[in-house]
A and B are shown apart, each in its own frame.
Chain A
Amino acid sequence: MPYAVVAVILVTLGTVGIGIYGLRLARTTSDFLVASRSVSPVWNASAISGEYLSAASFLGVAGLVLAYGADMLWYPVGFVAGYLVLLLMVAAPLRRSGAYTVPDFAEIRLGSPGVRRLASVLVVAIGWLYLVPQLQGAGLTLRTVTGAPAWAGAVLVAVVVTVNVAGGGMRSATFVQAFQYWLKLTAITVPAIFLVLAWQADGRPDPAAATPPVFRAATTVHLDAGVRVDVAEPVQVQVRGRGPLLLTTGRHDLAAGTTLVFPAGSAVPHLHGLTATNGTTWARPLSGAGGLEHPLYATYALALATFLGTMGLPHVLIRFYTNPDGRSARRTTLAVLALLGAFYLLPALYGALGRLYTPQLLLTGRTDAVVLALPGTLIGGVGGHLLEALLVAGAFAAFLSTSSGLLVSTAGVLVQDVLRGSVRDFRRAAVVAGAVPLGVALLATGRPVGQVVGLAFAVAASSFCPLLVLGIWWRGLTPPGAAAGLMAGGGLSAAAVLLTLTGTVRHGWPAALLAQPAAWTVPVAFAVMVGVSLATRRRIPLDVGRTMLALHAPEELGLTTRR
């Protein structure tokens, strides 16, 4: 395990080191927030991708593929496609508006402090909802590779990121993020090559074979938390310190601290709530693998959330200001799509190999750990430990980069709308912005990181997507309409998120509608925003013509509201 610890230390020191280097260049509040628009497209594209590839991408997608099969590939497809919608519909006019954040945009377009405050609350809510799984992922990672308690990783990431952001702001963040993209790509690619070679050497077993997952070799499973499992086939296991035990078909509660040895070839008992699925079903889209209910609805809703939610994520929008002009903004976006696409080809591979070689994660429920667990099982020895260390480095790069981006944006909104803008207050805001999600991450029980991040997309799609799209392309939007739409879409999706995360509703259509709310909350938000705007037509801002012109006229004309 020492290699993995060295990797964590190196990535953390690298992040802090580059942050300090950038700090010497940061001078004014504008530097802190958007690096003075002086970052080149390649750096910027790497930085955007580095910031965007979160714990959900690095760990979560593979874990979801392991548990729920082919439908989960919509997560990476949607994560990339969301950038395209952002590029086509929103990026250029938003740049010209001169707004750094959605609340800025709301005020510029609608001239309403009320809508601005509402948008600020939503930015902070989405930022925190997105930060919690990053910190929990860090806890899970450190626990998986070193056995450290779950709070240790979360506290480490929260403290490093808060100190770094409070000290260096966006300028340092840009350097850190760009470095981290390349680290993440290397960290997921190199082990993947070795894993595929090992899989070839093993006779290329089929991950989609017709049986439910089985232990290919005798497997020792240590439970550091109690689990409830469903056993499909009776299996004779060895309980360390207690001797043999027959697990009969049905439900069993296994206590924390138990160590079980499963014989080779036995079927894997699944965590209660996850359904054991044969390979054919697992590999087929919309099959409901893993016990997912109403897969067709869930897929549409997930696609809608990711396509339309990307534009509303606080750490994504602000990045479009770090390009000197519209043309380089387009170049940057193209490069981002290529960089993200290259990365996202790999998590599915880990998920598929995990079904063959680390199926015990379906028993413990820690499917997010599949990327980290594979090298030790499939390759082993010093080589396995080194590859594991590389993956841990990539995972920590993911936690650190996404968390800093979210923290910069959340703190930026806090400092503009809660405190008055000055460098000192930005630091205080960063501490607040980091402390709250850390508290939640430590108190709340872990859900799959990919799923929670998907919910953050759903809230963004149900609130900021209608505000941005209608604000940019429709003159008729009014402040009351925008406020009502934000409250309806944001409120309904946030309520759905709370009900899902607390596990209040578990089965049937209600659970499916709440677990993937975007398919109904996005249309509701658009309808309310348009309807109330039409009913309050007299409240259309008087200067709407001037504002719309500034949004759509070429920026060389000097109409942009620059700060």
Chain B
Amino acid sequence: MSIDAERGQRPAGSASYQEIQAAPEFQQLKRSLRRFVFPMTVAFLAWYLLYVLMSAYARGFMGHQLLGNINVAYVFGLLQFVSTFVIAWIYARYADKHLDPLADTLRAEIEGGTR
């Protein structure tokens, strides 16, 4: 189970690192991923922290009764659950739509030996 022993071994026929690193498709793939992941992570953390801030400093608004005992804070809280799922779903769609095709193109070109 030594890792070092296997790190040197690459599957036969796979492209060299320099080739892949240099491929415009790979650079594009990296950019597409980062463009999604970093803003999304920041936005999602900000959304959660907003809830805490509002609970602390906008109590009147958060305590506003909407329906019976249900106030804004509870709806907001439930939305936190929902938003977690929605963001993950958007990511899965984004990856299927934008990242996987790029990866496939890259793979086809490298395996086809066109570069």
Which A residues form the contact surface with B (CB < 8 A)? Answer: 29, 70, 73, 77, 80-81, 83-85, 87-89, 98, 104, 107-108, 206, 208, 284-286, 296, 299-300, 303, 307, 326-327, 330-331, 333-334, 337-338, 341, 344-345, 416, 421, 545-546, 549, 552-554, 556-559, 561, 563
Q: Find chain B residues with CB under 8 A from A558 CB.
A: 10-11, 14
Q: Are the CB atoms of B1 and A108 closer together than 8 Å?
A: no
Q: Flag whether B87 is at the interface (Cβ < 8 A).
A: yes
Point out residues on B near A: beta carbons under 8 Å. 1, 3, 6-7, 10-11, 14-15, 17, 20-21, 26, 29-30, 33, 37, 40-41, 44-45, 48-49, 52, 55-56, 59, 62-63, 69, 73, 77, 80-82, 84-85, 87-89, 91-92, 95-96, 100, 102-104, 106-107, 110
- In the assembled complex, the Cα of A212 lies from the Cα of B91 at a distance in Å of 45
Q: Is the CB of B84 within 8 A of A84?
A: yes
Q: For residue B92, give the distance in angstroms from its CB to the closest CB of chain A.
A: 4
Give the distance in Å from the alpha carbon of A85 to the alpha carbon of B81 in the complex.
Answer: 14
A341 to B40 CA separation, bound complex (whole angstroms): 20
Closest CB in chain B relative to A221 CB, distance in Å: 29
Q: Report the minimal beta-carbon distance from B5 to chain A, rounded to whole angstroms.
A: 10
| Alpha-carbon distance A334/B90, docked complex (angstroms) | 10
Expressed in whole angstroms, the Cα–Cα distance for A545 and B20 within the complex equals 11
Query: A280's closest neighbor in chain B, by CB?
Result: B63
User: Who on chain A is nearest to B14 by CB?
Assistant: A558
Contact (A554, B81) CB under 8 Å given A87-B91, A108-B3, A285-B55: no
Q: Which of A337, A545, A554, A563 has a CB less than 8 Å from the CB of B29?
A: A554
When the two chains form their complex, are residues A557 and B84 in contact, meaning their CB atoms are under 8 A apart? no
Give chain B residues whose Cβ lies under 8 Å from the Cβ of A286.
52, 55-56
CB pair A421 B1 closer than 8 Å: yes
Given the known inter-chain contacts A330-B95, A561-B6, please indicate yes or no for A338 contacting B62, CB distance below 8 A.
no
Could you name 17 residue pairs across A and B whose Cβ atoms are closer than 8 Å? A70-B73, A73-B77, A77-B80, A81-B80, A84-B88, A88-B41, A104-B3, A108-B7, A285-B55, A326-B95, A545-B21, A553-B26, A554-B103, A557-B14, A557-B107, A558-B11, A559-B10
User: Would B56 and A296 count as touching, CB distance under 8 A?
Assistant: yes
Chain B contacts for A88, CB-based, 8 A: 37, 40-41, 87, 91
The residue of chain A having its C-beta at the shortest distance from the C-beta of B102 within the complex is: A554
CB contact between A557 and one of B15, B37, B100, B102 (< 8 Å): that residue: B15
A94 to chain B: closest CB distance in Å?
Answer: 14
Bound Cα distance A421, B26 (Å): 36
Q: Are B52 and A299 in contact (CB under 8 A)?
A: yes
| Given the contacts A77-B81, A80-B81, A546 and B1 also touching, CB distance less than 8 Å | no
The smallest beta-carbon distance between B110 and chain A, in angstroms, is 7
Q: How far is the CB of B27 from chain A (nearest CB, A)?
A: 11
What are the residues of chain A within 8 A of B110 when measuring CB–CB? 557
CA distance A341 to B33 in the complex (A): 26
> Which residues on the A side are within 8 Å of B29 (C-beta)?
552, 554
How far apart sit A553 and B22, CA to CA, in the bound complex (Å)?
12
Residue from A81, A108, A307, A559 whose CB has the most chain B CB atoms within 10 Å: A81
Contacts A81-B84, A285-B55; A300 near B92 (Cβ below 8 A): no
CA distance A427 to B92 in the complex (A): 38
Q: Give CA–CA (A87, B44) in the complex, Å.
A: 13
Total number of residue pairs linking A and B with CB closer than 8 Å: 124
Instruction: Give B72 Cβ to nearest chain A Cβ, in Å.
Output: 11
What does DSSP make chain B's interface, helix, strand, loop or mixed?
A: helix
A84 partner residues in chain B, CB cutoff 8 A? 44, 84, 87-88
Q: Which residue of B lies closest to A416 (CB)?
A: B1
Residue of A nearest to B15 (CB): A557
Residues of chain A contacted by B10 (CB below 8 angstroms):
558-559
With A344-B81, A554-B103, A563-B1 known, 18 other A-B pairs at CB within 8 A are: A77-B77, A83-B84, A84-B88, A87-B88, A108-B3, A303-B52, A331-B92, A333-B92, A334-B85, A334-B88, A337-B88, A341-B85, A549-B21, A554-B102, A557-B15, A557-B107, A557-B110, A561-B7
Kindly name the residue among B14, B30, B40, B48 whose own CB sees the greatest number of chain A CB atoms within 10 A. Answer: B48
B52:A296 contact, CB within 8 angstroms: yes
What are the residues of chain B within 8 A of A561 when measuring CB–CB?
A: 3, 6-7
Residues B52 and A284 in contact, CB atoms below 8 Å apart: no
Cα A206 to Cα B21 in complex, Å, equals 63
B62, A285: Cβ atoms under 8 Å? Answer: yes
Assembled-state Cα–Cα distance A81/B80 (Å)? 9
A345–B89 Cα distance when bound, in Å, is: 20
Residues of B contacting A29 in the complex (Cβ-Cβ under 8 angstroms): 1
> Which 7 A-B residue pairs are closest in the complex by CB-CB distance?
A554-B103, A285-B55, A421-B1, A558-B14, A558-B11, A330-B92, A337-B85
User: Which residues of the partner chain B approach A300 to less than 8 Å between Cβ atoms?
Assistant: 49, 52
A557 & B91 in contact (Cβ 8 Å cutoff)? no
Among A98, A334, A416, the most chain B Cβ lie within 10 Å of the Cβ of: A334
A107 to B82, CA, bound (A): 37
Question: Complex Cα distance A286/B63, Å?
Answer: 12
Do A307 and B14 form a contact, CB below 8 Å, given A108-B3, A557-B106?
no
With contact pairs A341-B84, A563-B1 given, residues A81 and B48 touching in the complex (Cβ less than 8 Å): yes
Complex Cα–Cα for A549 and B17 (A): 7
Question: What distance in Å separates the Cβ of A88 from its nearest Cβ neighbour in chain B?
Answer: 5
Closest to B95 in A: A330
Are A327 and B41 within 8 A (Cβ)?
A: no
B19 to chain A, nearest CB (A): 10
- Chain B min CB distance to A377 (Å): 22
Asked whether B91 lies within 8 Å of A330 as measured between CB atoms, the reply is: yes
Taking the closest CB of chain B, its distance from the CB of A550, in whole angstroms, is: 8
